[in-house]
């Protein structure tokens, strides 16, 4: 059994597009739905974990710059918040996958 599309990542892509619009990238234009790049669940999970790890590394780098007096406290808080949200997302997905696995294992054969 394969998962061909994940609705939650379509929502995340839409959020990313709207965040870009708020940053001054132009007027809102409707975008065509995008297909998952790999269509593979394992690849999606690997990408999400990689993104979370990248956010943590970025927050650590910004924190180190703040200790040296080279970064603003707003940047530190923003980076830490981004890392926290990424980790919470990964943990939520993990919990849902484990819950689904447990439900499948409880099904009668």
pLDDT tens for 78-87 read 999 999 999 9
pLDDT of residue 7: 41
Helical (H) or strand (E) element with 19: helix 7-20
pLDDT of residue 21: 45
Closest CA to 94 of 47, 53, 37, 45: 45
pLDDT tens for 7-61 read 444 545 554 555 554 444 444 444 455 555 557 888 888 888 999 999 999 999 9
pLDDT of residue 40: 85
Closest CA to 51 of 9, 22, 11, 19: 9
| DSSP state letters, 24-70 | II-S----PPPPPSS--HHHHHHHHHHHHHHHHHHHHHHHHHHHTT-
């Amino acid at each position: 059994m394969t998962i061909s599309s994940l609705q939650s990542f379509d929502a995340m892509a839409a959020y990313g597009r709207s965040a870009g619009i708020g940053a001054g990238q132009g007027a809102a234009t409707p975008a065509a739905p995008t297909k998952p790049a790999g269509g593979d669940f394992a690849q999606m999970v690997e990408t999400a974990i990689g993104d979370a790890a990248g956010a943590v590394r970025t927050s650590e780098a910004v924190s180190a710059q703040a200790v040296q007096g080279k970064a603003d406290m707003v940047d530190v808080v923003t980076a830490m918040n981004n890392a926290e949200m990424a980790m919470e997302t990964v943990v939520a997905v993990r919990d849902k996958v484990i819950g689904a696995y447990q439900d499948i294992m409880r099904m009668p054969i």
